[in-house]
Structure 1
Amino acid sequence: MKIIDPYTAARYQRQISLKGFGAEAQQKLARSRVLVVGAGGLGTPALLYLAAAGIGTIGIVDFDRVQVNNLHRQVLFTEESIGQLKTVVAARELKKRNTALQIEEFPVKLEPGNCWQVLENFDIILDGTDNFSTRYMLNDACVLLGKPLVMGAVSQFEGQVAIFNANGKESVNYRDIFPEPPGPGEILSCAEGGVLGVLPGIIGIQMANEVIKLIAEIGSTLADQLFTYNALTNDVQVFQVAKNRASATLMPITKEAFEKTDYAWLCGEKNQLKELSPPAFYQRIRQAFIQVIDVREVGELPIPSDFDYVQIPLSKLSERITEIRPTSMILFCQSGARSLKAAKIIQSAYPGLTEIYQLEGGLNQLLSFKNSTYAS
């Protein structure tokens, strides 16, 4: 066994001195390569603790830039980070904390065409994403590559952690729980439903803990289990996940089939609606006979005050469909997911109606546009 140098021994002394951990486990961490997909609410706390624990190489995948509405939960970023690439900021901040850490930045959007190449050189994949197309894509890639996948998810006050594919073909994967994706708008994202700021921290650190246990080969992990936590009630539950025969028939079985799979289409995220950018939206609503419909639920914030609209919640849309005039309309919600589903309901009721528009990016993008306009 390689002897740990004095600095490393001193830095990780509290960890190395743990019964059942020791220098050997610390060396396993130093040799490991962990890929964190998504440097957001889940990814940033996980990154902090993985770097602090002594992981040798960390890859960071995120194509996004820091926005002001990230700051209440994405703890690696500051106000000075706004507008910068998340991968760049995260790498810089982590290097300040651990100069021995090797970081590989991937400021790209993961797609079937590049996913395989990014994942194949890492030992464990941590999924901190917030959309179903990426989640299913990562799951399928990890099954085909034989990589353990540590998955986390948060919404409002509840969070989940699970480990898939930890023991090869005998392990369960994400599709054993959810063989097929939910429809658009059925499950709210953080952008749509909100999230308590501390919750991604709790779940993200739990994910980091599972990664460390997998690498160090200590304790009991959440392999083939689903951990759930409610921040309002402190209820914790752990469910055993069983293999689902249907899951194997739904995923690609070769690299070539994987790279041809359209996960955005599979998850209903490809938008067939005509989208209006914020400037185009404000121009269009000045026209006569245009209906503007808010499909969010009653009580959701913010409440727009600079244009007229009617509110017909998505959950009530089918029973209130007669309130909609079959003329030109613009639908909006928080981020765009629910307005897409609302459009399908309206088109089913009025098959000949073609003038249906969607506010691109929902109110989130509209508010960002307004803030940037005022700032300039």
Structure 2
Amino acid sequence: MVNYASGEAKGELSGAEYRRYSRHLLLPGFTPESQRKLRSAKVAVVGAGGLGSPILQYLAAAGVGSLTVIDADLVDSSNLQRQVIHSEAAVGTPKVASAAHAVHALNQAVHVREVPEVLTPANALATLAGHDLVLDGTDNFPTRYLVSDACEILNVPLIWGSILAFDGQVAVFFGDEGRGVTYRDVHPRPPEPGEVPSCSEAGVLGPLVGVIGSTMAMEALKVLTGLGSPLYGRIQLYSALTGDWTRLDVARRAGRAPVTEIEDLVETCGFPAVEASGAAPVRAEVLSPAEALREAATGRLLIDIREESEAAEGMLPHAVNIPKTQLMEFARGERAGVGPLSEVGDLHGAILHCAGGARSAAAQAELAALGISVANMAGGYVASVTLRP
């Protein structure tokens, strides 16, 4: 964990600051006090990837005094198409370290705290406490609910953004001590596994994250300085293919009680309990990529359920490719033996993986409903990249 030296948080702006932020200070309503508010602000950014890149760069450039960067991932070459805060030289290094280096190079007065950890129900409140504002640039539903719930408990405003393929969304949530709108008012029910594809499966157009991330940074400056009208109670929807923005007004769900404790949605949103026909629900077996590869090396069947065109671009050691459609047809008795599988019993205990984890989680649940127990490799082929030679 690295903390770069903090800039002065109190007192008048220096001559150097007047010069540096002169284009801010020319704006109607943007006063030296506005700039001092940015300098004294403490902002947490969850995710140093596609959305986190423009967020961190613009907040640092704007003079936000303290940034906490939270991300457990390493920089991968597949990130560079859209995660512009990272460079080729940073591949294989922690994203938080790469992002902190870029922020420090842009503005040495910004205090940067690196948190190279996964945000969990156990650490979320402690990690986010003490911040004036949180921005969520993550790409999975359990973390989105976790960040929203933590912010509601802490009564901290949250700027949320989401991107997929050609479309993006931005909103500002604030629990406001039980009166305001949060992520749970917009999405009261977590999606089922496989219901919504990930970016690693559906793709994302690189500049889209710049549009949405920059808009999130703009909303952050509005919230911190009091300028304009932040997107409280509104979601802005953007289509990159048409260039259109659509406004969606949202309200707090009638009767919804304030969130008072953190729920672990990993168990119900992405890696669920599964239920075999006529049996009591059991917790699905979920393996990390490292665990799955170790199991496969000892002879446990590892099935890559991606399409053949995807598998042609690369496969994991010891894996066999059986596309999900073919695998499910075999499991239902609609197809004869496929790959190394000649009987349905051969499928019991196998490990499934796809590109990002969503399809394999869905297949795991579907097979459980047929009485077939398999494991799911969390994160899929993309998450295993740092383990491959």
1:277 and 2:292 correspond? yes
1:163 corresponds in structure 2 to 172
The code of the aligned residue for 2:150 comes to: A
2:72 corresponds in structure 1 to 63
1:310 corresponds in structure 2 to 322
Q: Secondary structure at the match of 1:328?
A: helix
1:17 corresponds in structure 2 to 26
Following superposition of structure 1 onto structure 2, how do residues 78-227 of structure 1 map, counting pairs within 5 Å?
A: 78-165=87-174, 167-227=176-236
Could you tell me how far apart the structure 2 residues matched to 1:305 and 1:146 are? 46
Residue deviations 1:5-25 (CA, integer Å, cap 9, x gap): 110000000111101112121
CA contact (8 A) 1:277 1:360 kept: no
2:346 corresponds in structure 1 to 328
Could you tell me how far apart the structure 2 residues matched to 1:347 and 1:237 are? 40
1:267 corresponds in structure 2 to 269
The Cα shift of 1:144 comes to 1.2
Identity within the alignment, %:
35
Could you tell me how far apart the structure 2 residues matched to 1:154 and 1:319 are? 35
TM-score, length basis structure 1:
0.85
1:245 corresponds in structure 2 to 254
The code of the aligned residue for 1:202 comes to: V
Q: Secondary structure at the match of 2:125?
A: helix
Aligned residues: 354
Residue deviations 1:263-315 (CA, integer Å, cap 9, x gap): 21132436723646346447648xxxx79462x5x68735357775332449x
CA contact (8 A) 2:194 2:270 kept: no
Following superposition of structure 1 onto structure 2, how do residues 37-56 of structure 1 map, counting pairs within 5 Å?
A: 37-56=46-65
Pick closer, same or farther for the CA change 1:365–1:215 going to 2, 3 Å: closer
- Structure 1: any 5+ residue segments left out of the alignment? none
1:339 corresponds in structure 2 to 360
Pick closer, same or farther for the CA change 1:269–1:95 going to 2, 3 Å: same
Residue deviations 1:203-251 (CA, integer Å, cap 9, x gap): 1110000000111111121111111111112121010001113643xx6
Could you tell me how far apart the structure 2 residues matched to 1:166 and 1:212 are? 19
Pick closer, same or farther for the CA change 1:31–1:213 going to 2, 3 Å: same
Residue deviations 1:158-215 (CA, integer Å, cap 9, x gap): 1111100174432111011111210111111112211111111111110000000111
The code of the aligned residue for 2:132 comes to: D
The Cα shift of 1:149 comes to 0.4
2:380 corresponds in structure 1 to 362
The code of the aligned residue for 2:323 comes to: Q
The code of the aligned residue for 2:292 comes to: S
The code of the aligned residue for 2:21 comes to: Y
Q: Secondary structure at the match of 1:21?
A: coil
Once the two structures are overlaid, the 10-residue window that deviates more, 31-40 or 358-367, is 358-367
Residue deviations 1:115-169 (CA, integer Å, cap 9, x gap): 1111111000000111111111111111111100000111111111110017443
Pick closer, same or farther for the CA change 1:201–1:313 going to 2, 3 Å: farther
Pick closer, same or farther for the CA change 1:101–1:274 going to 2, 3 Å: closer
Could you tell me how far apart the structure 1 residues matched to 2:196 and 2:308 are? 18
Pick closer, same or farther for the CA change 1:291–1:366 going to 2, 3 Å: closer
The code of the aligned residue for 2:380 comes to: G
Could you tell me how far apart the structure 1 residues matched to 2:49 and 2:175 are? 24
The structure with the greater share of residues assigned to helix is: 1
The code of the aligned residue for 2:216 comes to: M
CA contact (8 A) 1:175 1:247 kept: no
CA contact (8 A) 1:312 1:320 kept: no
Q: Secondary structure at the match of 2:112?
A: strand
Could you tell me how far apart the structure 1 residues matched to 2:215 and 2:151 are? 20
CA contact (8 A) 2:237 2:245 kept: yes
Pick closer, same or farther for the CA change 1:161–1:93 going to 2, 3 Å: same
- Structure 2: any 5+ residue segments left out of the alignment? 1-9, 273-282, 336-342
RMSD: 2.7
The Cα shift of 1:347 comes to 2.1
Could you tell me how far apart the structure 1 residues matched to 2:171 and 2:286 are? 37
Q: Secondary structure at the match of 2:148?
A: helix
CA contact (8 A) 1:44 1:76 kept: yes
